[in-house]
């Protein structure tokens, strides 16, 4: 996994997939975590973004997915467990296979995390995105309209601004 630790700062390179269905977005959360995030994970060295997302979706849900296109490139800055993170993420539009178990909107889809723990996927209505804990937080509004061209977003997550201000340079 592409991760670099330097003192109290961690750099990660992440790839995430966006799947939409009838005004809902597919979002997982850990069995012990109340927050949602786009499915995907960290890239391996010499692995393309598409290959990373395909590998992650195979590991998490045991499915093969086609990639539609790149939506966004995001530089995300946040604090987690007293550590500052600088994360570069690629968001790809993906399509899930025609498997009825994947399209039940009022039931959780049970996948698995890398450590074998359950990863719970839900079809979250776009209208409810502001009501849930979703990271990165810019997705609460950005998922309402997918861009026609690739967007580049620099984002500092809520609550991290004061903590990061002294660490960031323009």
Domain boundaries, the chain: 3-165
Q: Summarize pLDDT for 70-116 with one digit per residue, the tens.
A: 999 999 999 888 889 999 999 999 999 999 999 999 899 999 988 88
Specify whether the CB–CB gap between 18 and 143 falls below 8 A: yes
CB 12 within 8 A of CB 87: yes
- Which among 12, 20, 130, 129 has a CA at the least distance from the CA of 71? 20
CB neighbours of residue 68 within 10 Å: 14
> Are 144 and 87 contacting, i.e. CB atoms less than 8 angstroms apart?
no
CATH number (3.90.79.10, 3.40.50.720, 1.10.3720.10, 3.40.1000.10) of 3-165 reads 3.90.79.10
Q: What is the pLDDT of residues 2-42, one digit of tens each?
A: 999 998 899 999 999 999 999 999 999 977 778 999 999 99
């Amino acid at each position: 996994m592409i991760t670099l630790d330097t003192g109290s700062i961690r750099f990660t390179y992440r790839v995430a997939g966006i799947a939409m269905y009838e005004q809902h977005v597919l979002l997982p959360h850990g069995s012990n975590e109340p927050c949602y995030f786009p499915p995907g994970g960290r890239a391996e060295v010499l692995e393309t973004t598409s290959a990373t997302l395909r590998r992650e979706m195979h590991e998490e849900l045991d499915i093969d997915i086609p990639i539609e296109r790149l939506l966004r490139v995001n530089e995300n800055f946040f604090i987690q467990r007293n550590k500052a993170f600088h994360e570069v993420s690629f968001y790809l539009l993906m399509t899930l296979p025609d498997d009825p178990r994947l399209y039940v909107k009022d039931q959780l889809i049970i996948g698995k995390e890398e450590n074998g723990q359950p990863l719970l996927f839900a079809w979250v209505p776009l209208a409810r995105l502001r009501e849930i804990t979703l990271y990165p937080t810019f997705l609460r509004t950005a998922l309402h309209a997918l861009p026609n061209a690739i967007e580049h977003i620099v984002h500092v997550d809520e609550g991290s601004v004061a903590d990061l201000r002294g660490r960031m340079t323009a």
